[in-house]
A and B are shown apart, each in its own frame.
Chain A
Amino acid sequence: MFKIQLNYLSLTKKIMWRLNKVRHKAGRHGDSSEQFRSKRREQENALRQARRDRQLVSKRLLLNDDEEHPEVTMETNSAGQDVVSLFLKLQHSGPEKEADLKALSKALRDPSAQLTFIKQGKSMHLLVGLLTGSNAQCRLQAVQCLHELSHSPHATVAPACLPVTPYLLTYLSGQSTRFTELCLYTLGNLCPDSDVVTEKLLAQGIIPALTSCLENQRHNLALVEAVGFTLSQLLQNRDAAEKIIPTVLASSLPSLLLSVLTPDPQFGLAPAIECAWCLHYLTSRQSAVDGRVLLCHGALLQCSSLLVSIGGVVADGKKEEGMELLICPLLRCVGNLLSSCPVDDLIAQVDDVRLPAALCALLQAYLHTQPALARETAWVLNNLTAPAHSIEFCSALLTLNLVPGLIQLLPFSQGINTMILRVLANIAHKKKEFCVQLIQLGLLSALCATLKMADPEMVTLSLDVLFMLVTSCPQVAEEFVKQGGLSLIEAIQYNSEGEMRRRAAYLLEHKLLS
């Protein structure tokens, strides 16, 4: 469908990204049994419900390099015992401190062991001591323990970890990659657990700490990913809008995030994914002020040119695994930034007439496998074609022969067709000449089908588009009648929706029968 654009888009740099270094290994489970699938479905449904309750929160577990899966291999009982006995041993500062700590961190993988541990008096005091002690290995193992605790599903555990946060924050300026990484993920896991924790972290300067960490470690992609994750956790907070976003926008984080947005071919997509999600959360407030700050940093420029590159890759058929995880937040940034963009600035900000082509390539590539992503892409196309000054983009859709592909998407529901029809309506709305071209590309006959759809919004929109088309040129009415449209409009006069009836009646009276 978009083969014509292949050559055009391949002029852009093509980057191969691989999400192979799955440090947080995802679903490469060879075991695709029904049990596994149904468990996943359960978890997915739980996530959906959590989202509806505005309580969608996740933690990440950083595995050791020798680990493949986060299995809890030990028996709960023995783990609990282990924890207590290890704790006692550690309190007495024996010669096997390091080994004991390592064993403790393994034991703390188990949720009930986590509970047991924090119930021990002065357990946190112990960890703080080891964390700040002179033994580097112990520091590492201590933070590993804290990381396990931070990942706990129990609500009581995170608040118990509060005493360590000032230290974790301090260590963000440290030099040891693995250590800093663990600090970051621990902080990221603790953030969303309670407002108390978040407030404390903000007071303790988490944002400046993250900023300087990102600044200094920009080339260390593992840390970039970790900072991105932690920041995204902060930004997802329910009250982020008032407390956190303004501070972040005022800092140098936006430009830093943008500077690390382009994925590295070797390292993979993961850091870019985290940073893109941060940017998405930053654009989601309904505030033109926020938008302008980001626009000044070139956010729209950067995100849209990245989408153009990705579109080129995708159009070439080289869709990488996991790319949708990056495309999604990028689309959202572009979509929302477009809606904050001052009208006459549009071309300057986007700078690339290939963006519509890239979006269409994404639509086609993900339509069947990720319909939700296709819907979000269509939304961005709407925002791209809506403004009065977006004539170049509308024109590009026509000259690059992208419209037939769009028309072919009109049968698909779940919000895809309504958004696509909006895009076509946006184009028709610009110029009579565009209407004529749309008709030549078959929009009129497509409308004969969409006018019969069950979705009332689709029908009303179709009537609106039809009105624009028949108004653009006198022959259109005739053509429409020839295609059997008259009886269709007459039938709509008997629809239960008043909006439809009025439109149908008007069309009959003024356009179709006169």
Chain B
Amino acid sequence: MLQPELDRLRTEGDVLVRSCGDVCPTSETEQSEVEEGNPFSFSPRLIHLHKDHELFEDGDIQRHMYLQDLYIFAEDDKPSLSVSEFACHISGCTTVFSTLQEYEHHYNSLHRNVCCSCHRSLPTARLLDIHIQEWHDSLFTILAEKQDMYQCLVEGCGQRFRTSKHRKDHLIKIHKYPQDFKFDKIKTDRREKKRQQHKDTDMEVVDDVCVSEGVCEDMCGVLSDQPEQGESMEMHMTDEDTTGMAANIEDPSLAVHGTTSTSTDPLKPRYSYRVPANICFGQASVRGFRGRRGKRK
């Protein structure tokens, strides 16, 4: 029954899958360069489906409706074709979006300029740089004792100040900034913020509110005193990781389960990771991540 030219014959339930050769011509010449641990396992597969397979459900129902004289030809209210949803990749961030735009907005607002030390999200790279400098750079603290180190937040202004208070006054007086500008928190407020963070986690996430909406509101200064949306999560990579994943991973080579796993299936994060504190990424990359233990739509 096995043909000599088949490399693997695998069965699972109603699906018989045959792989069509492991050698990928596309990467043939690079075989010498392909390293150990190349995780890419795609190879074209023939898929045989048993008559009871779930992929065949709708067609079978149609057939039997016809047999029982229940089938309506050229029906008006047809089953709606659904469009795939998008989801934020960052583990723990379970937000789902129906358009790419929403995704982009969410990602760019919440995951781009994130401080890896305190997980605070800043709206721009520049503000992030300033934040890191002022909050997490001990050298800065030392220098600030002797020089004007606190930069004005307005780009192009260039002025520097001895203390953050001075800068704040400058911002208010010269640049007409509000008293409670979100991205210029005085450092001593931090403990208070931590308490607020807790409150954030207690907050019920409303299902149909996109996280990015929250950020928009924040930027417009509508919400009160919440520099962050949701909690920031530190995640730990544990040994549970691999075993947990063994159960969770669906073999990407089996095509057909994809039909039922829609984006409405919640991907519960069963494991977590920690980004080592000493790693900081390039300007355009994620410096950290934030999560929201919210429900997917």
Interface flags, B254-297, vs A, CB<8A=1, else 0: 01111111110001011101010000010011100100000010
Give Cα distance in the complex from A506 to B285, angstroms: 17
Complex interface: chain A residues within 8 A of B77 (CB): 37
Complex interface: chain B residues within 8 A of A413 (CB): 82-85, 262-263
| A387:B46 contact, CB within 8 angstroms | yes
Give Cα distance in the complex from A340 to B253, angstroms: 18
Give Cα distance in the complex from A388 to B21, angstroms: 7
A367, A414, A472: the one within 8 Å of B262 (CB):
A414
Give Cα distance in the complex from A458 to B267, angstroms: 14
Complex interface: chain A residues within 8 A of B221 (CB): none
Give Cα distance in the complex from A383 to B47, angstroms: 6
**Closest Cβ neighbor of B17 among chain A residues:** A339
The answer to whether A342 and B3 touch (CB under 8 A), given A455-B84, A464-B42, A494-B89, is: yes
In the complex, B66 has a CB within 8 A of chain A: yes
| B90:A48 contact, CB within 8 angstroms | no
Rounded to whole Å, the gap between the CB of B91 and the closest CB of chain A is: 4
**Closest Cβ neighbor of B275 among chain A residues:** A494
In the complex, B167 has a CB within 8 A of chain A: no
Rounded to whole Å, the gap between the CB of B52 and the closest CB of chain A is: 6
Rounded to whole Å, the gap between the CB of B22 and the closest CB of chain A is: 11
Rounded to whole Å, the gap between the CB of B153 and the closest CB of chain A is: 25
Complex interface: chain A residues within 8 A of B194 (CB): none
Give Cα distance in the complex from A28 to B284, angstroms: 61
B21, B69, B284: the one within 8 Å of A24 (CB):
B69
Interface flags, A495-514, vs B, CB<8A=1, else 0: 11111101100100010000
| B40:A467 contact, CB within 8 angstroms | yes
Interface flags, A437-470, vs B, CB<8A=1, else 0: 0000000000001001111111111011101100
| B259:A464 contact, CB within 8 angstroms | no
Complex interface: chain B residues within 8 A of A163 (CB): none
Give Cα distance in the complex from A54 to B296, angstroms: 33
**Closest Cβ neighbor of B51 among chain A residues:** A284
Rounded to whole Å, the gap between the CB of A489 and the closest CB of chain B is: 10
| B42:A418 contact, CB within 8 angstroms | no
Interface flags, B34-54, vs A, CB<8A=1, else 0: 010111111111111111100
In the complex, B249 has a CB within 8 A of chain A: yes
| B27:A471 contact, CB within 8 angstroms | yes
**Closest Cβ neighbor of B1 among chain A residues:** A288
**Closest Cβ neighbor of B57 among chain A residues:** A51
| A418:B82 contact, CB within 8 angstroms | no
A51, A455, A492: the one within 8 Å of B60 (CB):
A51
The answer to whether A461 and B62 touch (CB under 8 A), given A24-B69, A431-B25, A452-B86, is: no
Rounded to whole Å, the gap between the CB of A144 and the closest CB of chain B is: 18
Complex interface: chain A residues within 8 A of B257 (CB): 457
Give Cα distance in the complex from A270 to B146, angstroms: 92
Give Cα distance in the complex from A431 to B25, angstroms: 6
| B67:A58 contact, CB within 8 angstroms | yes
Give Cα distance in the complex from A450 to B11, angstroms: 28
| B81:A368 contact, CB within 8 angstroms | yes
In the complex, B176 has a CB within 8 A of chain A: no
In the complex, B190 has a CB within 8 A of chain A: no
Complex interface: chain B residues within 8 A of A419 (CB): 255, 258
| B289:A494 contact, CB within 8 angstroms | yes
Rounded to whole Å, the gap between the CB of A3 and the closest CB of chain B is: 22
Rounded to whole Å, the gap between the CB of B245 and the closest CB of chain A is: 5
Complex interface: chain A residues within 8 A of B41 (CB): 464
A47, A54, A287, A503: the one within 8 Å of B65 (CB):
A47
Interface of A: prevailing SS: helix
| B48:A464 contact, CB within 8 angstroms | no
Complex interface: chain B residues within 8 A of A51 (CB): 52, 57, 60-61
| A486:B284 contact, CB within 8 angstroms | yes
**Closest Cβ neighbor of B242 among chain A residues:** A498
Complex interface: chain A residues within 8 A of B92 (CB): 496
| A491:B89 contact, CB within 8 angstroms | yes
| A325:B62 contact, CB within 8 angstroms | yes
Which interface residue of A415, A426, A467 has the most chain B CB atoms within 10 A?
A415
Complex interface: chain A residues within 8 A of B11 (CB): 286
| A454:B96 contact, CB within 8 angstroms | yes
| A495:B91 contact, CB within 8 angstroms | yes
In the complex, B103 has a CB within 8 A of chain A: yes
B42, B45, B96, B286: the one within 8 Å of A468 (CB):
B42
B42, B90, B241, B250: the one within 8 Å of A494 (CB):
B90
The answer to whether A61 and B69 touch (CB under 8 A), given A376-B56, A425-B42, is: yes
In the complex, B79 has a CB within 8 A of chain A: yes
The answer to whether A286 and B91 touch (CB under 8 A), given A58-B64, A371-B79, is: no
**Closest Cβ neighbor of B271 among chain A residues:** A496
In the complex, B30 has a CB within 8 A of chain A: yes
Give Cα distance in the complex from A328 to B72, angstroms: 16
Interface flags, A189-200, vs B, CB<8A=1, else 0: 000000000000
| A58:B68 contact, CB within 8 angstroms | yes
Complex interface: chain A residues within 8 A of B89 (CB): 452, 459, 491-492, 494-495, 500
The answer to whether A506 and B47 touch (CB under 8 A), given A70-B69, A288-B3, A325-B66, is: no
| A458:B84 contact, CB within 8 angstroms | yes
In the complex, B130 has a CB within 8 A of chain A: no
| B37:A48 contact, CB within 8 angstroms | no
Complex interface: chain A residues within 8 A of B241 (CB): 498
Complex interface: chain A residues within 8 A of B58 (CB): 372-373
| B90:A280 contact, CB within 8 angstroms | no
Give Cα distance in the complex from A125 to B261, angstroms: 55
Rounded to whole Å, the gap between the CB of A288 and the closest CB of chain B is: 5
Rounded to whole Å, the gap between the CB of A25 and the closest CB of chain B is: 6
Which residues between 1 and 29 of chain B lie within 8 Å of chain A, taking CB atoms?
1, 3, 5, 11, 16, 18, 20-21, 24-27
Complex interface: chain B residues within 8 A of A429 (CB): 24-26, 42-44
7 contacts between A and B (CB under 8 A): A26-B72, A339-B18, A388-B21, A415-B260, A452-B100, A487-B284, A487-B286
Further contacts, 15 of them, CB under 8 A, given A498-B241, A506-B38: A27-B70, A27-B75, A40-B70, A58-B64, A286-B48, A288-B1, A339-B48, A375-B259, A382-B47, A418-B259, A429-B43, A458-B84, A465-B42, A494-B273, A499-B249
B residues with a Cβ closer than 8 A to A are 1, 3, 5, 11, 16, 18, 20-21, 24-27, 30, 35, 37-52, 55-75, 77-79, 81-92, 96, 100, 103, 107, 111-112, 241-242, 245, 248-250, 252, 255-263, 267, 269-271, 273, 275, 281, 284-286, 289, 296
Q: Shortest 3 CB-CB distances between A and B: which pairs?
A: A415-B259, A454-B263, A372-B58
A residues with a Cβ closer than 8 A to B are 19, 24-29, 37, 40, 43-44, 47-48, 51, 54, 56, 58-61, 70, 229, 236, 273, 277, 280-281, 284-289, 321-322, 324-325, 328-329, 332, 335-336, 338-340, 342-343, 367-373, 375-376, 379, 382-383, 385-388, 411-415, 417-419, 422, 425-426, 428-432, 435, 449, 452-461, 463-465, 467-468, 471-472, 486-487, 490-492, 494-500, 502-503, 506, 510
